[in-house]
A = this chain, B = another copy of it.
């Protein structure tokens, strides 16, 4: 007999895929709002602490958000030898911004989120996630459509981080996963610039993932995939780096650790050894062999 029993009450039913779901116990609902773009909820999950939930999908939880945000931000930031100007599209929780600002090389970090309500709610109810990053003098927060922002900007960035809702989850982020968009990202990167995007699940949504991957390959000379299990997502989240000059594969653990140290970056998940692990772990696929 199993030791786990489902104790009735309020729960979140979260889709993992087309026909797999995760049930998580809710101990408290902190705030709920229907914004112009999505349903926004801040809840306390009994096993994961406070969590931001958009359209029924967990985005970040107190307990494991560091795994997601460190895996999203640091491989690209560390691969670049001197990232000074950084652009974040999405990332309303402010946790991606928090990780970017840990790098002392950064002179300006611009975060562009389409949904002012998400940013406001995170500011007010999720200080555990942004840790004051919104107040950092190097930070600039813009409420705008990411696509329009990158079309209009005349700035150039060393690193661009796309921290969006899943490519298959909704229509909000759809256009930010297209080749056309990546071409514009390429244009507004410096000559040695690098971008990274979260890319949902290659295991459960293989076709969508492959489309995103090949779009990035069509644009960038150096492309690198990696994936990391995020407990509260119920799956390993994929990330794709597109780079003009530097490859994350060229770094050894010592270089990674030195750069972290030199820039004053302290982490809980990411390190030189983690970098090596992420860059060598097979990409999960449901249908195809993973070692090809």
| Structural contact, A2 and B57, CB atoms closer than 8 A | yes
A5-B2 in contact given A21-B23, A23-B23, A235-B231 (Cβ < 8 Å)? no
A285: min CB distance to chain B, Å: 10
- When the two chains form the complex, which single residue of B7, B26, B235, B253 contacts A5, counting CB atoms closer than 8 Å? B7
Proximity string of chain A (26-40) to chain B, C-beta cutoff 8 Å, 1 when within and 0 when not: 101100100000010
Interface assignment of A47: CB less than 8 Å from any CB of chain B = yes
B47/A20 in contact, CB under 8 A: yes
Partner among B5, B234, B269 whose Cβ is within 8 Å of the Cβ of A290:
B269
State the copy count for this chain.
Answer: 4
Residues of B within 8 A of A290 (CB): 67, 268-269
Given contacts A4-B15, A7-B19, A235-B231, A291 and B277 within 8 Å (CB-CB): no
Given contacts A47-B19, A277-B281, contact A8 B11 (CB under 8 A): no
A14 cross-chain contacts in B, Cβ below 8 A: 8
Report how many residues on chain A are interfacial, defined by Cβ distance under 8 Å.
70
Chain B residues near A29 (CB, 8 Å)? 10, 29, 32
Residue contact A10 to B8, C-beta cutoff 8 Å: no
Q: B2 touching A169 by the CB < 8 A rule?
A: yes
CA distance A281 to B26 in the complex (A): 30
Question: Contacts of A253 on B, CB cut-off 8 Å?
Answer: 280
Inter-chain contact A229/B236, CB cutoff 8 Å? yes
Instruction: Check if A17 is an interface residue, CB within 8 A of chain B.
Output: yes
Residue from B8, B169, B271 in contact with A13 in the complex, judged by beta carbons closer than 8 Å = B8
A residues 81-114 touching B (CB-CB < 8 Å): none
- Which of B25, B267, B278 interacts with A19 by CB under 8 Å? B25
A277 CB → nearest B CB, Å: 4
Give CA–CA (A21, B289) in the complex, Å: 28
Report chain B residues within 8 Å CB of A32.
28-29
Q: Are B55 and A1 in contact (CB under 8 A)?
A: yes
Q: Nearest Cβ in chain B — how far from A7, in angstroms?
A: 6
Instruction: Kindly supply a per-residue 1/0 record for chain A positions 239-280, scoring 1 wherever the CB is within 8 Å of any chain B CB and 0 otherwise.
Output: 000000000000001000000000000011111011011111
What's the minimum C-beta distance from A139 to chain B, rounded to whole angstroms?
A: 26
Known: A22-B22, A23-B23. A168 touches B231 (CB 8 A): no
